[in-house]
Structure 1
Amino acid sequence: MGIMQRAVNWIYALAADAFYKKFRNDTLRAGEVNRETLQEILKVNSETVYGQMYRFSEIHDTVKFKREVPLTAYADYEPYIDEIAAGKEKVLTADPVMYFGLSSGTTGKQKKIPMTAHSRKSVNMAMIFLQHGLLRQALKAARKGGKGLLLMNMLQSGSTPGGIPTGAATSGGAQSMRKVLPYFWTSPPEVLAIPEQDTANYLHLLFALTEQNLTYLMSPFSSGIVQLFGVLSQKGSQLAEDITQGHISRELYLDPEIKVFLEQKLKANPQRGSEIQKELERGMEGIASRLWPELSYVSCVCGGSFSIYEDKLKYFIGNTPINSAIYGATEALIGLAPEVNQPTYVIAPRAAYFEFIPLEDSELDEPSTFDLDQLQVGQAYEIVVTTWAGLYRYRLGDIIKVAGIYNTSPIVEFICRKGQLLNLTGEKTSEAAVQQALSMALKASNTAIEDYTTTLDLGTITGHYNFYLEISPDRRGFKEISTFRNTLESCLTQANPRYGAGVEGNRISPCEVKLVQHGTFQKVRQELIKRGASVTQVKIPRLIRDQYLISILEAHIEKHS
């Protein structure tokens, strides 16, 4: 580690510890801080079109705020966002909108979420310093610093008629951090601007493999790191050869100018190339710590629908600790992980003003809400946010469960997205129940899958659930569909007895299992990326209603199934 890198690590550690102390102090009086945050947001934005409409300047407590300002959804903001996109200012926020973060569109119409300099900075500071400050408390090995591999991109999909850039929310954040990227991550910034996912993953691996003292791997979601190791298993020898020779393979499609620029950053290293090849020959199980002996942790979201990738991730990384890092959405940062190997998050009191709707009331149009210091451990809630970037009492659509308390701020775990229910006759099988049932069935059958999704099939009198599964290539333990379907049916009943009662009462037909060809879900991802989803943050919807996406699945069903 060079002098400059050690200096950067030292400064970084000081800043991370300072952010952690401030955050810890905030959580000691989380409710007060959060209500103070609301007053600051209202004061700053009181002279906007929206602020004047709801008389923000006259609101001095949460009771009046909740009484005077209605709960909202994205549709309520579309006219205002169209005005901002055309160039009008001070519509939702006093600060200019610097960027529109695009949602993935996996659960409906793609949204354009406004981002200001203030909102972007707060998220960036949380990503760079606060998250690491918490991690340094939870994991001593993380205190040594060093460089990591970051799976992120800086792609902008376009701009609005008024000239405001658009793209994935993290892309805008990465763009604003461009100058500091080389001090923290192994990939040159140019790699983060490559649109082809397979090409970008190859190059991320190439530069990470040259860094023998790599200390962490970081991706928004666990699926991204699993895909990265998939590239390593397929292209490992080619990568080792590139490092040996100090060049980039001719088989990789890459703009000639970018290739020349990136090759200037590579140096031939036959010894490292040989080490990599030897570890590849030993197999992929636990390969991460063998390639990078200084690896301290892997940072990615593993909870909720991403838990399906956990076994495969651990196959590659062994016992390396997993830090679930940050829980957030395009609309707002929500919380940060206080512990490793736990997909739970402390609500960040200054990130936004938070309200929570009890799950049993989430179908109501104007339900009562609770502040973050009024929640009950063990209870589930829908999240509502008022943000620095112009969303007020916005129903985020995330359902969380309170797992504990950190000082006075709740620790939450993500359960599912609202509306992600398999519901034919009022049985309400949640995404969490589907996940539990599928995991139980896979374990009982000694079967591993690459990915899955579900649909509701109303083509019969009673209707049924369809499960589309992409079985892992080795097909270990999988014998025949009918046997697995029976196991899954039993597990669904265990996870949701109301489902079993519906089947027994002939109100629901038994589920169907459809095996799809290897690579099918990658085709679904590519379609979602075409629609604007981030290359590194694209998520497979666990319930698909989009007919074109269903047609992709149906076109790739294995013939013998």
Structure 2
Amino acid sequence: MGIRSVISKPLAKWVVERQQTWMYTPAETQQRWFQKLVDGGRATVFGRDHHFNDIHTIEEFRQAIPVRDYEDLKPYVEQILAGNDDVLWKGKPLYFAKTSGTTSGTKYIPITQDSIPNHINSARDALLNYINETGNGAFLDKKLIFLSGSPELTQKAGINIGRLSGIVNHHVPAYLRTNQLPSYETNTIDDWETKLERIIDETLPQSMSLISGIPPWVQMYFDRIQERTGKLIKDVFPDFSVFVYGGVNFEPYRAKLYESIGKRIDSIETYPASEGFLAFQDSQTEEGLLLLLDSGIFFEFVPAEDYFSDNPRRLTISEVELGKNYAVIINNNAGLWGYSLGDTVKFVSREPYRLLVTGRIKHFISAFGEHVIGEEVEKALQFAMQQQPETEVVEFTVAPMVSPKEGLPYHEWLVEFATSPGDLTRFAQDVDNRLTQLNVYYDDLITGSILQPLKLTSLSRGSFQRYMKSQGKLGGQNKVPRLANDRTIAEGLLEADKTV
């Protein structure tokens, strides 16, 4: 047993014991953070603009600060980029995490001296919770790979700018750096396909024990390894025992990933974002991700059905209910105030608070008033896959066909299969039938002959990768939205489907 695994167990025990102090005092913990954040923001430009000196209660805070997205925050970010101090939070940010926006172009999300522990310690604690529960710390003594963006940073106004995964790479603890892969040089390669081949060159000779990344890109890594070696991943990396992932629902990828591995291994789901690390899987036996209530974030939750209203309800953690979809609003010590993360979550436990990430609040289809959401399409697909268990899905997305050449409008499902169902027609029917059960509005449109049942388009292998490459988004943390209200993505995928 190596020194890392030996040291990790008492550290893991300490971290988990320390969690108990806030896991079971959620309202008090969040109230404390609310007060600390308001106090910390009083002397900022934002705090003066929003009269923080007059804010003493959560209700007064909500009256002063509406729910906002990046567009509303952007004028303050531009002040920081112009060289000003004390704009959103005291001093200047340590970093801007650069991410792609749908309407804003590139977004620059501040990370401060006070907020960086949220990103670093939360990732650490996810692993330590796993070690404490399972006793498996041996993976720390082998090689660890993190499939991520480039760690290269640029500078503007004296602030380092880069992708979140690249920024975090600079904060990997020294005791893990010696067994971290890929190398810095390989990680800085821009072209994903070239980078992937170099990663495989570096990892094939090594004893890999932990692999971390977004499932579709990990699957691509596995596929290339199998092409080179002709072996299952368990035979290439016999010490591989832990898979860490986040960013997308794992279920559509689970069967194919485990088939590529050749055995069941433990997995740890995380919920990181450029704006903050929100939750992680703290148990291999309990459903959901533990919401991190003591990590520099004051959370608010807007019921999904209220989100687009003029005055949406904003709930504290003690007011949420189980089984309902909420949009996540964060206020944090990076200077994000009333900030809509864009995600929807559903709580599955209140003691402690654990949640599932159910989709994106703006990723839905409502071209006809149906408001089909990500959770519903993923559940419908999973149901059809259970009916024909041989089916393996690489990736999928759904778009409306508003004006078909003939017949009623419909939803088009564009699906890339690793293994196609034996009966594709029945598969599509199973998806459609399950969706009508999950969404009463969709059911009404089908039964009322306003929509016809969905049509499923099976794409050739590699279509999603070719599409992402054409958009300059191949690899890293990029992913294709599950749902759209227009056909931009759908047409791009159909075009990529032709270039086999």
On whether the aligned pair clears a TM of 0.5, the verdict is yes
Match of 1:240 in 2: none
Equivalent position to 1:32, from 28, 32, 36: 28
* Distance in 2 separating the partners of 1:21 and 1:15: 10
In the alignment, what sits opposite 2:78? 82
Could you tell me whether the CA contact under 8 Å between 1:152 and 1:171 is conserved in 2?
A: no
Contact 1:154/1:174 (8 A) holds in 2: no
The answer on whether the counterparts of 1:95 and 1:117 sit within 8 Å (CA) in structure 2 is: no
CA deviation vs aligned residue, 1:56-111 (integer Å, no higher than 9, x gap) = 23433323222332222211111111121222221111131122212344687442
107 and 416 in structure 1: CA distance in 2 versus 1, 3 angstrom threshold: farther
8 Å Cα contact 1:382-1:397 kept in structure 2: yes
What's the secondary structure of 1:324's corresponding residue? Answer: strand
Conserved in 1, the CA contact under 8 Å of 2:243 and 2:266? yes
Displacement of 1:144: 6.2
Give 1 or 2: higher helix fraction. 1
> CA 1:395/1:345 → structure 2, altered by over 3 Å: closer, same or farther?
same
Q: Deviations over 1:330-373 (max 9, x none)?
A: 11111121112766211111220001122332222322222213
CA contact (8 A) 2:373 2:483 kept: no
Structure with bigger gyration radius: 1
Q: Describe the SS at the equivalent of 2:187.
A: helix
Query: Which position in structure 2 is the counterpart of 1:236?
Result: 229
Q: Is the contact made by 2:395 and 2:415 (CA closer than 8 Å) also made in structure 1?
A: yes
Which position in structure 2 is the counterpart of 1:368?
Answer: 313
**Contact 1:437/1:494, CA 8 A, preserved across alignment:** no
Question: Cα gap change, 1:127/1:464 in structure 2, threshold over 3 Å: closer, same or farther?
Answer: same
Residue of structure 2 in register with 1:450 after alignment? 394
1:227 alignment partner in structure 2: 220
Normalising by structure 1, report the TM-score: 0.80
Does structure 1 retain, via aligned residues, the 8 Å contact 2:142–2:209? Answer: yes
Q: Which is worse superposed, 389-398 or 98-107? A: 98-107
Q: 1:209 is matched with which residue?
A: 204
Q: Deviations over 1:275-327 (max 9, x none)?
A: xxxxx2xxx3xx32x333333321113863x4211111121234533333421
Aligned: 1:332 with 2:276 = yes
Mean Cα deviation higher: 58-67 or 34-43: 58-67
Aligned ranges 1:209-358 → 2 under 5 Å: 209-212=204-207, 214-219=208-213, 221-236=214-229, 280=231, 284=232, 287-288=233-234, 290-301=235-246, 304=249, 306-340=250-284, 344-351=288-295, 352-358=297-303
Q: Name the counterpart of 2:476.
A: 536
Higher strand share: 2
Partners of 1:102 and 1:168 within 8 A in 2: yes
- What pairs up with 1:461-472 in 2 under 5 angstroms? 463-472=409-418
1:196 and 2:191 aligned: yes
Residue equivalent to 2:117: 121
> Residue 13 of structure 1: CA displacement?
4.3
Q: Is the Cα contact below 8 Å between 1:322 and 1:341 reproduced in 2?
A: no
In the TM superposition, residue 47 of structure 1 has moved relative to its aligned partner by 0.8
Instruction: Report SS of the residue matched to 2:481.
Output: coil
Uncovered stretches (5+) of structure 1, i.e. residues with no partner: 238-279
- Tell whether the 8 Å contact from 1:147 to 1:183 is kept in structure 2 after alignment: no
In the TM superposition, residue 55 of structure 1 has moved relative to its aligned partner by 2.5
What is aligned with 2:170?
175
Q: Which residue of 1 aligns with 2:63?
A: 67
Decide whether the 8 Å contact of 2:347 with 2:355 is kept in 1.
Answer: yes
Q: Please state if 1:378 is matched with 2:374.
A: no
Give the residue type in structure 2 aligned to 1:403: V
CA shift for structure 1 position 402: 0.8
Alpha-carbon distance in 2 for matches of 1:13, 1:192 = 30
State which of 436, 450, 469 in structure 2 corresponds to 1:493: 436
Aligned to 2:95: 99
Structure 2 residue aligned with 1:508: 451
Letter in 2 for 1:329: A
Residue 154 of structure 1: how far off its partner (Å): 5.2
What is the percentage of aligned positions where both structures have the same residue?
A: 21
Question: In structure 2, what is the Cα distance between the partners aligned to 1:295 and 1:438?
Answer: 29
Structure 2-normalised TM-score?
Answer: 0.89
- 2:471 matched to 1:525? no
In 2, Cα distance between equivalents of 1:302 and 1:90: 32
Judge conservation of contact 1:515–1:558 (CA < 8 Å) in 2.
no
What residue identity is the alignment partner of 1:200? K
Task: State how far apart, in whole Å, the 1-side matches of 2:280 and 2:288 are.
Answer: 8
Within the alignment, does 1:426 sit opposite 2:421 as a pair?
no
The amino acid across from 2:198 in the alignment is L
Contact 1:31/1:349 (<8 A) preserved: no
Say which is worse superposed, 10-19 or 489-498, in terms of deviation.
10-19
Cα contact 1:337–1:345 (8 A) shared by 2: yes
Which residues of structure 2 form unaligned runs of 5+?
A: none
Separation in structure 1 between the aligned mates of residue 153 and residue 206 of structure 2, nearest angstrom: 34
Aligned length: 496
More moved, 291-300 vs 346-355: 291-300
1:395 counterpart = 2:340: yes
For residues 482-535 of structure 1, the C-alpha deviation after alignment (integer angstroms, 9 at most, x for no partner) is 55444433333233243232122121233222222221100222245x3xx583
Q: How much does 1:386 deviate?
A: 0.1
User: Secondary structure at 1:117's aligned position in 2?
Assistant: coil
Match of 1:33, as an amino acid?
T
Matches of 2:299 and 2:306 in 1, distance apart?
Answer: 17
Distance 1:320 1:447 in 2: 18
Say whether the 8 Å CA contact 2:44–2:87 is kept in structure 1.
yes
Decide whether aligned partners of structure 1 residues 152 and 329 sit closer, same or farther in structure 2, where only a CA change above 3 A counts.
same
Report how far residue 425 of structure 1 moved: 2.6
SS of the equivalent of 2:244 reads: strand
Tell me, in whole angstroms, the C-alpha distance in 1 between the residues paired with 2:181 and 2:152.
25
For residues 557 and 291 of structure 1, do their structure 2 counterparts lie closer, same or farther at Cα, with a shift above 3 Å needed?
closer
Alignment equivalent of 1:552, drawn from 482, 492, 497:
492
2:456 aligned counterpart, secondary structure: strand
Q: Among 360, 363, 377, which residue is 1:417 paired with?
A: 360
Q: Secondary structure at the match of 2:264?
A: coil
Match in the other structure for 1:404 = 349
